[in-house]
Structure 1
Amino acid sequence: MSAQEVPLLPPGAKPGECYTRIYVPPQYETKVEEIVVTDGTEHVEIMPAQFKWVEKQVLVKEESEKIEVIPASFKTVEEKVEIKPATEVLKIVPAQFDEVEEKVLVREGYTTWKTGRGPVEKIDASTGEIMCLVEVPAEYKTIQRRKLITPATTETVVEPAKYKVVKKRVIDKAAETKVTKIPAEYVTVKVQELVEKAKPERAPVPAELVEVEKIMKVQDGGLEWRQILCETNMTRDVVGQIQAALKEQGVYGGTIDGSLGPMTMRAVRNFQKSKNLASGQLTIETLDALGVKL
């Protein structure tokens, strides 16, 4: 309830009771919210290609003919033999991230009542306490988080074939006259054959989250009529009970003398603040919280 909505007189008052308008502070509650620090991505692992060794016969000397009268002449030449075919290899292109800052709301802005600076702001001598409504700005917290720019990918790179150079004899000049067949000659070499191509294996990487506490206002503060102690219903015995209860709560260090002095009222205000009670006067609500009965 705002100050404009407070009735001019306390409702339902009974003879012998005293009331005053008290500022009741706003109510808050803390909520936890999850904030993404690092976006989810994907882990990529390349399973290499599989090969096997096989034997292959390579011609090193061609079939020839022997001439008895004029023998054939030969020459040696080199030949490239493929021992491993060209293959495709997958490579990982890692994901790209960027460090960004993000402002997170910790506490919403709100308005609160505060007392005026003094009698300069009074209209005349009959004006009571001056209350000013001020605005408290919202509070923010800056956090660092990693933002995914480009996910991890793969690219295909071609590895060239491998060769082996072998020498072989070839006929330079055929024999003449009588011809005798000379069979070809071969050599056995080991080569690698592709059995299974390289392939990627992917696994998802979950996003990283952090919990941030936010203080949210659930009820505004304002002025309300509250029953209090006054000269009509206050006795030294009641004040002594109040002092004893405050001493038990650990907020009063004075003597229990039944006198409502500045030290006793300061202890009352500290107790009201610790229990989030309406403050400024010795309310019946405060007596109930202290366990003091009239």
Structure 2
Amino acid sequence: MKSIYFYNILLAMTLPAGLSFAAETGKTDAICASQVLLPALFRPSAENVTVYEPSTRYSTIPVQMGYGERKVKVADAYVIYETIPATFGEVTESIEVARERVEITTLPATYRTETKRVKVKDATQRWNPVCPAVVASEQSIPAHCLINVPAVYTDVTREVIDVPARTIKKVIPARTETITRKVVLQPAQVIRREIPAKYRMVKLAKVEQGAKVSTTQQPARVQAILSQQTLRSERIVQRPALCEPTVSPSTILRLQQHLQQGGYYQGTPDGILGPKTRAALTRFQEDHQLASGAITVETLQKLQLQ
């Protein structure tokens, strides 16, 4: 059946305008070789776009302090004599009560939002439904018969790192406490009396475990953007089609009825090849990837009018 179909198509292209195409259609409508617009062919595809860049996250384990007490002598033992009392002096000392340590502070990364424009469909052309069929013997198709369809874009919002994460080290100096103690300068003589030493308990702080910084990697996040990849660009070709000046109203009426059944033609079929019929025919051809611009034989076969 396919070989008979292609044979009839080649036969129709060789027939001069005005001859009957009764071998294929069984009607008296003539077949002409017309210039038509073969639509572009697209294939759905997906493109991954990064919407969140990878980064490093820092977390801090604070320093662990320990506390204890230390016994500090604040007065030496001495001896008092009844005859000559002892003489004393004072000594001032600085005692470290908290050691020097390092504190680490982490600052998270900051982000900024930017928009990226992504093309999801290339620009193409479509046939103007108000234009009549163009006979192949004419030099070119009128410019207003081809409508430029612009490319389709979409905007993708993503977050990128503005300032990376960082750490700040702060040195906390050691803390000391001043202790004044009494010492014997001259012991007593003659009568000996011992005075015991005096002590003071001082609280001490020390670092048992220093601060630590741990890092974790935050993976990137991507978003799939649906687009259409062009497999074939639109082009002007020659196809066998009904000669519009001689097409019969009954053929147009049947065409309108079939287009109305498919939901393309709105209104009452009247057998007139007007703008409403051309627009419905063009929409049907575009939806079924058929060449538009004329009532082609392949369109009639798709509509089951043969």
The TM-score, its normalising length taken from structure 2, stands at: 0.72
Kindly indicate whether residue 55 of structure 2 is the aligned counterpart of residue 41 of structure 1. Answer: yes
What's the offset of the Cα at 1:286? Answer: 1.9
The answer to which of 242-251 and 209-218 deviates more is 209-218
Q: How does 1:94-243 map to 2 (within 5 A)?
A: 94-95=108-109, 97=111, 102-108=116-122, 112=125, 127-131=138-142, 145-148=158-161, 150-230=163-243, 238-243=251-256
- Measure the CA separation in 2 of the matches of 1:293 and 1:138: 35
What's the offset of the Cα at 1:179? Answer: 4.7
Residue 296 of structure 2 corresponds to which residue in structure 1?
A: 283
- Cα deviation 1:115-148 (Å, max 9, x = unaligned): 8xx9xxxxxxx84553559988766656554433
- Measure the CA separation in 1 of the matches of 2:185 and 2:266: 124
Q: Which runs of 5+ in 1 are unaligned?
A: 1-9, 119-125
Q: Residues 112 and 11 of structure 1: is their aligned pair in 2 closer, same or farther, counting only changes over 3 Å?
A: same
Q: 1:90 aligns with which of 104, 108, 114?
A: 104
Q: Residues 168 and 288 of structure 1: is their aligned pair in 2 closer, same or farther, counting only changes over 3 Å?
A: farther
Kindly indicate whether residue 112 of structure 2 is the aligned counterpart of residue 69 of structure 1. Answer: no
The answer to which of 191-200 and 136-145 deviates more is 136-145
Residue 40 of structure 2 corresponds to which residue in structure 1?
A: 26
Kindly indicate whether residue 70 of structure 2 is the aligned counterpart of residue 59 of structure 1. Answer: no
- Opposite residue 141 of structure 2, the aligned amino acid is I
Native 8 Å contact 1:113 1:131 kept in 2: no
> Which structure carries more helix by proportion?
2
SS at match of 1:246: helix
The answer to which of 45-54 and 230-239 deviates more is 230-239
- Measure the CA separation in 2 of the matches of 1:247 and 1:229: 20
Q: Residues 135 and 56 of structure 1: is their aligned pair in 2 closer, same or farther, counting only changes over 3 Å?
A: same
Q: Which runs of 5+ in 2 are unaligned?
A: 1-7, 16-20, 25-30, 132-136
- Measure the CA separation in 2 of the matches of 1:233 and 1:224: 22
SS at match of 2:260: helix
Q: CA RMSD in A?
A: 3.7
Equivalent pairs: percent with the same residue?
28
Residue 7 of structure 1 corresponds to which residue in structure 2?
A: none
- Measure the CA separation in 2 of the matches of 1:36 and 1:139: 20
SS at match of 1:12: helix
Residue 12 of structure 1 corresponds to which residue in structure 2?
A: 10
- Measure the CA separation in 1 of the matches of 2:249 and 2:115: 61
- Opposite residue 212 of structure 1, the aligned amino acid is I
Q: How does 1:264-279 map to 2 (within 5 A)?
A: 264-279=277-292
What's the offset of the Cα at 1:111? Answer: 6.3
What's the offset of the Cα at 1:235? Answer: 5.8
What's the offset of the Cα at 1:219? Answer: 0.6
- Measure the CA separation in 1 of the matches of 2:45 and 2:223: 14
- Cα deviation 1:231-274 (Å, max 9, x = unaligned): 89966554433222211222223334545455433321232234
- Measure the CA separation in 2 of the matches of 1:38 and 1:76: 69
What's the offset of the Cα at 1:52? Answer: 2.0
- Measure the CA separation in 2 of the matches of 1:233 and 1:93: 81
- Measure the CA separation in 1 of the matches of 2:239 and 2:233: 17
What's the offset of the Cα at 1:196? Answer: 0.7
- Opposite residue 63 of structure 1, the aligned amino acid is A
Residue 305 of structure 2 corresponds to which residue in structure 1?
A: 293
Q: Residues 232 and 38 of structure 1: is their aligned pair in 2 closer, same or farther, counting only changes over 3 Å?
A: closer
